[in-house]
Amino acid sequence: MSSIAVVVPAAGIGKRMQSEIPKQYLKLHGQTVLEHTLNQLISHSNIAHIYVVLHPDDMLFSTLDIADADWITTVPGGDERSDSVMAGILATNHADWILVHDAARPCVKLDDITNLLKLSKDNTGGILAAPVRDTMKRGDSQHVIKQTVCRENLWHAQTPQFFPKQQLLTALHSCQQAGIAVTDEASAIEQMGGTVKLVEGCYSNIKITHPEDLALAEFYINQQNRTYL
């Protein structure tokens, strides 16, 4: 398999968590969310090193037991996610492909990562995603329904997102130069007219965004631990 570098943007402040502590540092099963995420990633057989992108003023990562691991390199991030991802990519060495994963997604399954990495055989990038199951409504600013959106072919985008290094770097740089805001790496590739494959992942691969997500993540981690026993 082509060489892979993993970038984990962890510079966010988590405004929606109603906590003074960034969401990636909240405790889950005795460890921080970020530690769970990093330990899960490094346990994959094709992942040997992780570039963790931190807020320049981050004072918490250095206090973690995992901080001194030889498979982690920390990188100062930027104002936006895309800035942090670019900083992480630029810090990587000798990688052909970049795997980007949210710091607040500790429940990703190893088999799903394996399926995503298989895309490199066809030299095509892609993302983990889950098909939309609920009826979708489009509303206005007054929270009034204006349209029922057909859910056929609609997907919830997840991470990891996996692309050739140079393609992703070029796409992110082009979006920055054009003033185009992107919320994930796939959006940048789309803006460049690139092809992005959807690899079906698990609904359990949640992003911890709201306080109630912690309890759900704990449940999923318990389920995974039982599976590995």
Q: What is the model's pLDDT at position 1? A: 59
pLDDT higher than threshold 70 for residue 229: no
Q: What is the model's pLDDT at position 226? A: 66
Widest pairwise Cα distance in the chain: 53
Provide the whole-model pTM.
0.93
Mean pLDDT for all residues in the chain: 93
Residue 12, H or E segment: none
Which tens digits make up the pLDDT trace of 31-69?
999 999 999 999 999 999 999 999 999 999 999 999 999
pLDDT band at 14 (very low <50, low <70, confident <90, very high): low
CATH code of the domain containing 34? 3.90.550.10
Q: Tell me whether the omega of the peptide bond preceding residue 160 falls within 30 degrees of 0, making it cis.
A: yes
Distance between CA 36 and CA 52 in Å, rounded? 13
Distance between CA 184 and CA 28 in Å, rounded? 25
Terminal alpha carbon distance of the chain: 29
Q: What is the model's pLDDT at position 228? A: 56
DSSP symbol at 104: T
Cβ-contact 229, 222 below 8 angstroms: no
Q: What residues are paired with 149 via a beta bridge?
A: 136
Which tens digits make up the pLDDT trace of 78-104?
989 999 999 999 999 889 999 999 999
Cβ-contact 206, 216 below 8 angstroms: yes
User: Which residues form the domain of 118?
Assistant: 4-228
The pair of three-digit structure tokens given for residue 153, joined into one six-digit string: 């072919």
Q: What is the model's pLDDT at position 227? A: 63
Which tens digits make up the pLDDT trace of 170-226?
999 999 999 999 999 999 999 999 999 999 999 999 999 988 899 999 999 988 876
Which tens digits make up the pLDDT trace of 125-171?
999 999 999 999 999 999 999 999 988 999 999 999 999 999 999 99
Q: At what angle do helices 33-42 and 212-228 cross, to 10 degrees?
A: 30
153 to 133, 161, 215: CA distances (angstroms): 11, 19, 30
The domain tally of the chain equals 1
The pair of three-digit structure tokens given for residue 214, joined into one six-digit string: 């912690």
Indicate the burial class of 126 (C-beta count within 10 angstroms; 0-12, 13-18, 19 or more). Answer: buried
Left (φ > 0), alpha (ψ -120 to 50) or beta: where does 102 sit?
Answer: beta
pLDDT higher than threshold 60 for residue 15: no
227 to 109, 211, 220, 223: CA distances (angstroms): 11, 26, 11, 6
Cβ-contact 42, 50 below 8 angstroms: yes
The pair of three-digit structure tokens given for residue 46, joined into one six-digit string: 């094709």
Q: What is the model's pLDDT at position 94? A: 86
